[in-house]
Amino acid sequence: MSIEVELKLSASTDKIKQVKQWLKEVGCSESNSAELEWEQKYLHNTYFDTKNHRLRGTDIGLRIRKDGDHYIQSVKSAGRVVGGLYQRNESEHTIPEDKLQLELVDEPYLMILLEEAEEEDGPLAPIFTTNFNRDVVTIGYNGAQVEVALDQGQINCMAEESSTIAQESQDLCEVELELKEGEASVLFDLGRELIEQFDLVLDSESKAERGYRLCHSAPEYTKHLDLVNLTSKTSAEAAFESVAHKGLGHWQYHIKKIKREPSIDAVLQLNRALMFMQTMYSVFAAVIPRHSLIHLRKDWREITKNFSKLFTIAEEINWLNNSKLYGFHYDELAKLESGLEQSFIKEHKIFVEYLKTPSYNLKLLRFSRWLYLKEWREAIGESNAEKIQKKEIYSYATKQLQHLLRDMRRHLSEKVTLSKQDYIDYLPKMTRTLDIGLFFGCLFDDRARREYRRGWADIVANIQLLQQLVYLEKALAVEGVEDPLIDDTETETLVVLKGMREEALARNPYWN
């Protein structure tokens, strides 16, 4: 089994031609002036899965590639995608014919997943194909050897998969950079040049992902942030990396959806990713000092600025929709809702265009590089880097959680009388607290953690209700409408919150 490290960028036909010409100049500039030797291939790939796509559910890709007269069977795990940089396990074997030979898979874990998928969901069958022309060359760049592949073609659904959906094919056009020899930093350097020179766009969606999405008619569910996978022996530095990857992965997942269609849920989840990463910076300040984050925090502030208007509109639409679930329907707000929906479509288009700009893609690439190459070590010095690599996360986590509990006891004590605005002002801190529970929750007993967290999650939900009601009041006031039911609901919610505060603060924390 090998580990594949590659960077992928979306392009267009005219950009592919420009990139190819530019690479000729770059390839000839290092150590020799010989013409690059491009290899041209036509690649036909068939992807396999069970009828209910069990392999997809376990993040495994299985395909047979026809490359000239050869057939290559590949099994890939999802691995990790940082920006457009892919790092994943890959098992490949040459086979004599276009027929699966699973007995050749020599990695036990992958083999178990393949066997379980067939046992539980039936035989593996073709799902979709990718068919494309590939121009490939290996160039010397900054002391490394990088294979550059220029792919142009289509993704096509198999007949059985495409019978229930309208679209059966999709064009693909992309540049793939794969490190063959040398430092991974070179991929980032070359990627930066391609973005700057040709406005290429980082692409975190693989051909397989696009194929499944194109050919599978099941509805997409909103993905929420969940626990970060840590153990008590995880180092503080490794914990920070895992949290950062979780936040970036959540951002990337919902960016892919936003690029495809306007989605209120996706916008709200993008904001959750931003909040998650903002919390990460402060919680790990003693591990990753602020001075090593200056440029990154500036980059994310600019991204947030370009995102904020779309988020504000999505949040207001969400407040109105949620209010209806509580029975607050008003004909007088129909014009407001219609205007918000039109504004959302407009701002969605603006934001999607921003995602295509070099400005955004260079920022994402810079963050990906910083994270993948652990560049904070350069900023904090060798001795400090060794300390955070040795420092275990368990004691650090309990101190952080205990500090937050003291803060909540100070602000939410039953002795303190809180207005609805007091609660709303404290909501960001409550959300931050729940996120820190996701950072470190795996270190503690899961049942105790869930029971303890449920009380605080219920408090957050009721504060969010107050927030929605306040917005509704203001919107109705513009129309000259008052509804006593809103005041009654707010009063009742404040009473409920006081009881919830007392109960939550009385519970024994799961980290004790």
Measure the N-to-C terminal CA separation of the chain; round to a whole number of Å: 43
CATH, residue 94: 2.40.320.10
Containing 169, the helix (H) or strand (E) segment is: strand 169-181
Q: Among residues 143, 152, 149, which one has the least CA distance to residue 30?
A: 143
Same-domain check for residues 442 and 487: yes
Whole-number pLDDT of residue 361: 96
CB atoms within 10 A of CB 329: 8
pLDDT at 183 over 80: yes
Per residue in 7-54, pLDDT tens? 999 999 999 999 999 998 876 655 544 578 899 999 999 999 998 899
pLDDT at 6 over 80: yes
Same-domain check for residues 206 and 233: no
Domain that holds residue 125: 2-218
- Overall average pLDDT of the 270-297 stretch: 91
Instruction: Give percent of the chain above pLDDT 70.
Output: 93
Beta-ladder partners of 177 = 7, 148
Same-domain check for residues 495 and 457: yes
DSSP 127-152: EEEEEEEEEEEEEEETTEEEEEEEEE
pLDDT at 370 over 80: yes
pLDDT at 163 over 90: no
Give the count of domains, the chain: 3
CA distance 7 to 11: 13
Containing 172, the helix (H) or strand (E) segment is: strand 169-181
Same-domain check for residues 38 and 69: yes
Same-domain check for residues 235 and 212: no
Containing 68, the helix (H) or strand (E) segment is: none
**Burial code of 74-105, b = ≥16 C-beta within 10 A, e = fewer?**
bbbbbeebbbbbbebbbbeeeeeeeebeeeeb
Same-domain check for residues 366 and 511: no
Whole-number pLDDT of residue 88: 57
User: What is the identity of the amino acid at 79?
Assistant: G
Same-domain check for residues 387 and 260: yes
Beta-ladder partners of 89 = 3
Same-domain check for residues 27 and 154: yes
Same-domain check for residues 441 and 377: no
Strands (E), 192-240: 201-202
Q: Which residue has the tokens 């559910």?
A: 57
Apex 490 CA angle, 485 and 494, nearest 5: 150
Query: CB-based contacts of 179: which residues, under 8 Å, 6+ apart?
Result: 5, 6, 144, 145, 146, 147, 186, 187
Same-domain check for residues 373 and 387: yes
Same-domain check for residues 386 and 283: yes
Q: CA-CA-CA-CA torsion for 387, 392, 394, 398, nearest 10 degrees?
A: -10
* Averaged pLDDT score across all residues of the chain: 90
Tell which of 166, 189, 218 closes a domain: 218
Tell which of 167, 198, 218 closes a domain: 218
Tell which of 359, 391, 423 closes a domain: 391
364 burial class (0-12, 13-18, 19+ CB within 10 angstroms)?
buried
Per residue in 103-153, pLDDT tens? 998 878 788 888 999 999 999 999 999 999 999 999 999 999 999 999 999
Radius of gyration of the chain measured on its C-alpha atoms:
26
Same-domain check for residues 170 and 254: no
Going by pLDDT thresholds of 50, 70 and 90, the confidence category of residue 165 is: very low
CB-side neighbour CA atoms (13 Å) of 208: 21
